[in-house]
Amino acid sequence: MIQLRGIRKAFQDGAARVTVLDGVDLAVHPGEMTAVVGPSGSGKSTLLYVAGALDADFEGEALVAGESLRGLSEARRARLRNEAIGFVFQSFNLLPAMTALENVLLPAFFGQGGPRPDAPASPREAAREALSRVGLAEKAHRRPGELSGGERQRVAIARALFARPRVLLADEPTGNLDLRTGQEIIEIFVALAQAGLAVLVATHEERVSSACGRVLRLDHGRLQT
């Protein structure tokens, strides 16, 4: 579901060119939960941005959900992100004036393609189903300020699941959460992988990586098993 081959990514820092990803090879298949670990600044987020079709400036070959990311127009990249890839970040990125249900519905306003054959009849039904998957159906009409940190992250996960993606990318998803709440979020990711999603998590927390079936370390731009 995610296949990266020979991925290289560098930034210009004044007169110096800094390599962040140096020949990265990675495959994550449906039903797998894989962690990429390493300290802050090691390139974990950059790797997710490449895999998530957010960063087009790289060398190598990247395939996601069977589609090569090389040479895609920005419109097609956006469509692929909306239809096949779910994102969860450390900061929940919820709009405070909107309810949980409305936040989950947001992808419907950004060019989502036609519904998949197994999707509910309406976007609102799909949003309610996504909230149910993370145990928040009864709080659909609460705003983020009325929810705990763990509940806000659950809403963010529900939003990522809205379009029934095949790939889920998470960047430090428990970084703002206490131990108990973080464990609840980890259990959700494990269940999603068991349900068939390809889950790739960037983290520096052992509590997250220990729940993954495979852990890779990003060191000086290269992935180490």
At residue 165 the predicted structure's pLDDT band, cuts being 50, 70 and 90, is very high
At residue 115 the predicted structure's pLDDT band, cuts being 50, 70 and 90, is very low
Mean pLDDT check: name the lowest of 19-28, 57-66, 118-127. Answer: 118-127
What percentage of the chain exceeds 90 in pLDDT? 71
Q: What is the mean pLDDT of the chain?
A: 91
Instruction: Give the Cβ contact number of residue 72 at 10 Å.
Output: 15
Q: What digits encode the pLDDT tens for the residues 17-30? A: 889 999 999 999 99
Mean pLDDT check: name the lowest of 62-76, 99-113, 187-201. Answer: 99-113
At residue 113 the predicted structure's pLDDT band, cuts being 50, 70 and 90, is very low
Output the pTM of the full model. Answer: 0.90
Q: What pLDDT score does 224 carry?
A: 86
Q: What digits encode the pLDDT tens for the residues 40-58? A: 888 999 999 999 999 989 9
Statement: residue 114 has pLDDT above 60: no
Task: Please list the residues that pair with 141 across neighbouring strands.
Answer: none
The answer to whether residues 21 and 50 touch, using CB atoms and an 8 Å cutoff, is: yes
Average pLDDT over residues 59-81: 91
**Three-state SS across the chain?**
CEEEEEEEEEEEECCEEEEEEEEEEEEECCCCEEEEECCCCCCHHHHHHHHCCCCCCCEEEEEECCEECCCCCHHHHHHHHHHHEEEEECCCCCCCCCCHHHHHHHHHHCCCCCCCCCCCCCHHHHHHHHHHHCCCHHHCCCCHHHCCHHHHHHHHHHHHHCCCCCEEEEECCCCCCCHHHHHHHHHHHHHHHHCCCEEEEEECCHHHHCCCCEEEEEECCEEEC
Instruction: Give the Cβ contact number of residue 60 at 10 Å.
Output: 17
In CATH terms, the superfamily for domain 28-57+73-224 is P-loop containing nucleotide triphosphate hydrolases (3.40.50.300)
Mean pLDDT check: name the lowest of 40-44, 92-96, 172-176. Answer: 40-44
Average pLDDT over residues 127-143: 95
Mean pLDDT check: name the lowest of 21-30, 108-117, 138-147, 201-210. Answer: 108-117
Q: What pLDDT score does 16 carry?
A: 81
Q: What pLDDT score does 48 carry?
A: 95
Average pLDDT over residues 121-138: 91
Q: At 199, phi and psi to the nearest 5?
A: -115, 125
Q: What pLDDT score does 107 carry?
A: 86
